[in-house]
Amino acid sequence: METVGLGFCFEDLPLGRQFKTVGRTVTEADIVNFINCIGMTEVLFTNVEFLKQESDIKGRPAPGSLVFCFAEGLLAQSTMQTTGYAFLGMDLNIEGPTLAGDTIHVECEVIESRVSKSRPGRGLIRTRNRVVKQDGKVVMTYTPLRMIKCREA
């Protein structure tokens, strides 16, 4: 019997391949739980009066680190189960706010794909990941390099 939900192997991710994840709505509870869990009690995330009177952001913003974590979760559940071996690094840019009530998804494009020279049976994949809100605005772009399983060693 086939197991569904398994991740992509190296051979499934040629240069130029594009795909997107399902969406996820960021809730106020997500934001409150995240900032309390990690101790990010900055007024931008904990003081609605500050937001109303002094902030350029109108609404309840989610920390960029939370948005990144949600993006990685959306990708892990659909592309990396049993095939992802290592997250090796990235560049990350936050391009706009994500607010409570926004629904995000991740759009990926493979921009680097090569077989590992030092680790047989492994490939190195770099993607350009764009985190996109329901209105089409890009709120984050990052380019992770990952080591993943090859189907054929």
Averaged pLDDT of the chain: 94
Tokens in use for 72?
């990685």
Domains and CATH numbers, the chain: 10-149 (3.10.129.10)
Closest CA to 15 of 124, 88, 92: 124
139 and 67 in contact (C-beta within 8 Å)?
yes
Whole-prediction pTM value? 0.93
pLDDT tens digits for range 92-118:
999 999 999 999 999 999 999 999 999
**How many angstroms separate the CA atoms of 10 and 83, rounded?**
9
CA–CA dist 24, 67 (Å, integer): 10
Q: The tokens of 101 are what? A: 């009530």
* Dist. CA 153–CA 149, nearest whole Å: 9
The Cα–Cα gap between 123 and 20 comes to 21
Q: Tell me the per-residue pLDDT of 72-82, one tens digit each, with 9 for 90 and over.
A: 999 998 899 99
